Amino acid sequence: MPLLAHARKNLCRGHLLRYTLPLMLLLFLTVGLKHLAIDCNQRDNNEIPIGTCMASYYMALNLSAPGEKNCHRIIQGDMEEVRRALIDNLVAKKKRVIMTDESFINATSDCKLFRQRRKYVMFSLSKEEQDFPIAYSMVIHDNIEMFERLLRAIYTPHNIYCVHMDKKSPESFHQAVRAITSCFGNVFVASKLVNVVYASWRRVQADLNCMEDLLQSKVPWKYLINTCGTDFPIKTNAEMVKALKSLNGHNSMESEIPPNHKKRRWEYHFELKEDSNNIVLTNTRKKPSPLPVPVFSGNAYIVVTRNFVNALFVNPTVRSFITWAKDTYSPDEYLWATLNRFAEMPGYMPAHQKYDTSDINAIARLVKWESLEGDMSKGAPYIPCSGTHRRTVCVYGTGDLNWLLQQHHLFANKFDPKVDNNVIQCLEEYLRYKSFHQTEKLL
């Protein structure tokens, strides 16, 4: 009897396992799959997704360029594909619907839906990026669509973005910018706006207003990059972080000995005529600069450390130089370049000519100047522009894309969807793909 009872007991256990194991397995799979589904849901928070979710995130957030063009071949330098895209661009420009101020005001009435439809990445893609936030000063005056596409291209939830819009821009533009920025907790409009006038001090003041606001932010940003409405990145955020880290606390910008014809810009007093928004040269000579270094030539676009930005507001000699520069012509093209050679500025480069840096060697901005385009085999710094020119600067076309993406700069200027939307669409596709596939080499 004991043996029979033992056999019956084992038989019962066998039946129990036979029925309970599948149930347990089903329960495990249900809970496990539910857990994975939760992890791979798109969220409006800054949690870094687990690796297994990256593919599904990319499928939902890719920015594949519309139309027949093959961006991969264009990026690789396939000239036949470039020619097809340029022909397609002529047709597409006639059919393209431009997004207006009103369309963005309407689209942002539901911010969550706006972020989803426009495919913003609302989470950090790596710990390295999350631990190295970047601050942006974005100075704009028109073209709301280009501003929004630029913001989307550089947006991550751990960075911080200040937007300065020209005070004299149309009210509808102001409303559209505020509508877009209101959909993001880390994007804001500058607390003080100015009427920006080309070549006047006010272009510098717009950046300074944003810089002052960004210093008050709780985001512990490391570097500041300033942009305008015709800029677009040619690096992913991860690539920018690596490039900024490699600077080892230095700034990066154009800073060279100026040509003689530019010197009158700061040797004479200039007046701003409010009625015409023109800068007028006077016969009044200015006193020498209060800085103990000569004036250097550069441009408006810079990559600078947080400590450099802070020194602009607290260093008395720097404050004197800023005041001295307010009645000069196009101070944005020498102010930063000169301050970066002043030894009291964090991240500076010595004033000796050995440390002169051209715009090609700095990482801040890639620009093609019409007068310097030509045959690189004969010494030209870059190939001819495939788009058009505006104020002697190339507005990039599709044929520039292969060259653009081989450069070390973080941003390039100028872009305009009315001139060539293909080059912007292919950049959007490329940058979004590379952001999610950081280890792949695409060129």
Catalytic residues: 333
Distance CA 414, CA 231 (A): 6
Residues 416-429 as b or e (16 or more Cβ within 10 Å = b): bbebbbbbbbbbbb
Residue type, 197: V
Q: Are 58 and 433 in contact (CB under 8 A)?
A: yes
User: Where on the phi/psi map is residue 197: left (φ > 0), alpha (ψ -120 to 50), or beta?
Assistant: beta
* Buried b / exposed e along 92-115 (16+ C-beta atoms within 10 A): beeeeeebebeebbebbeeeeebb
Alpha-carbon distances, residue 125 vs 51, 64, 119, 156 (angstroms): 10, 19, 15, 9
* 295 touches 333 (CB < 8 A): no
DSSP state of 384: P
Closest to 159 in 3D by CA, of 184, 141, 194, 177: 184
Taken in order 253, 259, 261, 264, the sign of the CA dihedral is positive
Tell me if 176 sits within 8 A of 203, measured CB to CB: no
> What is the DSSP secondary-structure string of 3-22?
HHHHHHHHHHHHHHHHHHHH
| Cis before 112? omega within 30 | no
Q: Six-digit token pair at 426? A: 């292919």
What values do phi and psi take at 388, rounded to 5? -140, -175
Beta strands in 213-333 (DSSP E): 223-228, 231-233, 268-273, 278-285, 303-305
